[in-house]
A and B are shown apart, each in its own frame.
Chain A
């Protein structure tokens, strides 16, 4: 089992955010986490990517039980296996397009950086600072940053919220293409019904 979640609870100050969640993801399949705003979609993404620790329950990735791992171990799993795409992008504004994409790398040049920047259509803006990019361009940079490590799992938190149909299509196609290229699984949180049709072999969990 690629991802296994059992009896997952998450509480903040005695408020139940997630309760008794059980699901699994097989290698190469995808998951959509749907639900209204405030239902805990981003929290689940954070728990699965190891950014949060569950109140109780069990999460494992490739058989590794999160509860038995140190923070450093989880950081390492995240660094090697996961790519994260955030709803608000969170680019480092004083870095260029290329530098933002390469943030996750310790080497100065990634072998596929040129190809990746070409894929997102920002070759001419490679050296442009992130603060000078449009929202659409920033979104493509955030996606590229999420896939630069050739991750086994791409976590995308509300990637299409506040986007029109055209841009939703562009973004989801970009994620889908990159996932296919790297044979990555996608865990995507969204309340957008348009998302499902872009992915085959996708299961859904409603919150």
Chain B
């Protein structure tokens, strides 16, 4: 009979004890691997979605909230900022790229984001079907969103599903994007003007009277009630104003005030903001003093990442947040939770290893007679030692194997339940942490087997056989 067969039957004869050790090990492995896999995925998502964005400018309030809502789209924004002020900031020569974001509505929980084509360029997202938006109320959908080309959808107010529907306007889906593995997969993108027009922000007077605050539902509701009353007249005014402007624009283009060179630069930076591919200048004239939610900025100097937020925070009514800093703060806060889970998994694995130790050591008393017989019929001490160590290592290996299988399925289930940060796209990866956890557990199980193995191999055969008589 070979040693592996002997070990198999030995484990089988202690099936309850062995199963308990296997289960404890597997539970420990499941928790450890899930923490590792999700932490890794969330870190990757935070890194990739925030890549290339050095500063976020938005309304005063929590900087973390500003970063989360504007870059990761997982929180509500602090409020809005005047478009004019955002424009002023973007004139800064230290800024390489500035992407405006106008939030406020959702469709079935997917956020509607008014932005420029630069946003797509930033995430390197390509059109899968259809085309980009060219006109107001044309929209393209991220890869995760189940819509058809030419489908009409109406946005609902607020950033989560269930807000009041903007029946007065509907968007037309004109394109869908290829999967990018980024936050864009879950967004509905349109021009800034579309979002602003829906919220009646084209009229500076209207805007001044109704300071649209997306953060407060109460304010939103009040705003919408009062906004409805004036909506009709407001729309007419916009239409007239727009037609007048377009005519002027075509007939007397040179009359536009282009005297400010900085503003001209900004126009370049904000190009494609308008759905009609009008430059920013034209949208500025058309929209008067609208509001946007945030401005995503890429600077051209690392020093600017420090100095620019300081000056914006000091000199304006807006807030500039550094995403890298805020995410570090967030992960350090989340670290407490993940440490608790890590502690729990360490505890479970320790219990599993102790159970293997106690299982082998405790059972040794009952197995002394068997081991003495093996020694008597010619098994060497080394062979007995090897058998006991292998037995412990096999139990822990079964536990690890079961744990890995369970982790894989648990990961699939949990990743589909957790929608923020697009975890559903996460894949179970065999990274360094995976191999590290398995190696540590396997090694611990091996160590736990050594003492019983040593004691088992050192038995006095003659004494043991006489004691068993």
Contact = CB atoms under 8 A, between A and B. Distances in A.
Q: Do A and B come from one complex?
A: yes
Interface of A: 42-43, 46, 49, 51-52, 71-72, 75-76, 78-80, 82, 84, 86-88, 90, 92-95, 99, 102-108, 145
Interface in B58-111: none
Contacts of A92: 370, 373
Given A51-B375, A94-B9, A94-B10, 8 more contacts: A75-B380, A78-B378, A82-B378, A84-B376, A86-B376, A90-B468, A92-B370, A99-B5
A94 B370 CA distance: 10
B2 A106 contact: yes
Interface string B352-385: 0000000000000000011011111111111000
A106 B379 CA distance: 10
Interface stretch (B25-33, B312-320, B458-466): B458-466
B465 A90 contact: yes
Contacts of B375: 51, 75
A87 B2 contact: no
Contact of B377 (A72, A93, A145): A145
Contact of B378 (A79, A99, A107): A79
Contacts of A108: 1-2, 5
Contacts of A102: 1
Contacts of A46: 462
A87 B9 contact: no
B405 to A, nearest CB: 28
Interface in B1-36: 1-3, 5-6, 9-10, 12-13
Nearest to A49: B376
Contacts of B468: 88, 90
B469 interface: yes
15 contacts: A49-B376, A51-B461, A52-B462, A75-B379, A84-B377, A88-B465, A90-B369, A90-B372, A90-B373, A93-B13, A94-B9, A103-B6, A103-B373, A106-B3, A108-B5
A76 B378 contact: yes
A49 B374 CA distance: 14
Contacts of B378: 75-76, 78-80, 82, 104
Contacts of B6: 103
Interface residues of B, number: 28
A79 B145 CA distance: 72
Contacts of A94: 9-10, 12-13
A103 B378 CA distance: 10
Nearest to A46: B462
B466 A78 contact: no
Given A88-B468, A99-B1, A103-B374, A72 B462 contact: no
Nearest to A73: B380
Interface of B: 1-3, 5-6, 9-10, 12-13, 369-370, 372-382, 461-462, 465-466, 468-469
Contacts, number: 75
A80 to B, nearest CB: 7
A71 B462 CA distance: 14
B469 A103 contact: no
Contacts of A79: 377-379
A108 B8 CA distance: 14
- Which of the listed residues B2, B13, B377, B381 has the most CB atoms from chain A within 10 Å of its own CB? B377
Contacts of B377: 78-79, 84, 103-104, 145
Contacts of A82: 378
Contacts of B382: 72
A72 B380 contact: yes
A176 to B, nearest CB: 21
Nearest to A78: B378
A95 B12 CA distance: 10
B177 to A, nearest CB: 61
Contacts of B465: 51, 86, 88, 90
A78 to B, nearest CB: 5
Contacts of A99: 1, 5, 9
Contacts of A87: 469
Contacts of B376: 49, 51, 78, 84, 86, 90
A20 B357 CA distance: 46
B224 to A, nearest CB: 76
A106 B1 CA distance: 5
A93 B366 CA distance: 11
Nearest to A80: B378
B465 to A, nearest CB: 6
Contacts of A75: 375, 378-381
A126 to B, nearest CB: 14
Nearest to B466: A42
A92 B469 CA distance: 14
A187 B376 CA distance: 16
A40 to B, nearest CB: 12
B378 to A, nearest CB: 2
A43 B460 CA distance: 13
A99 B375 CA distance: 16
A175 B346 CA distance: 57
Contacts of A51: 375-376, 461-462, 465
A87 to B, nearest CB: 6
Nearest to A94: B13
A90 B6 CA distance: 16
Contacts of A104: 377-378
Contacts of A52: 462
Contacts of B12: 94
B364 to A, nearest CB: 15
A42 B465 CA distance: 10
Contacts of A49: 376
A19 B379 CA distance: 30
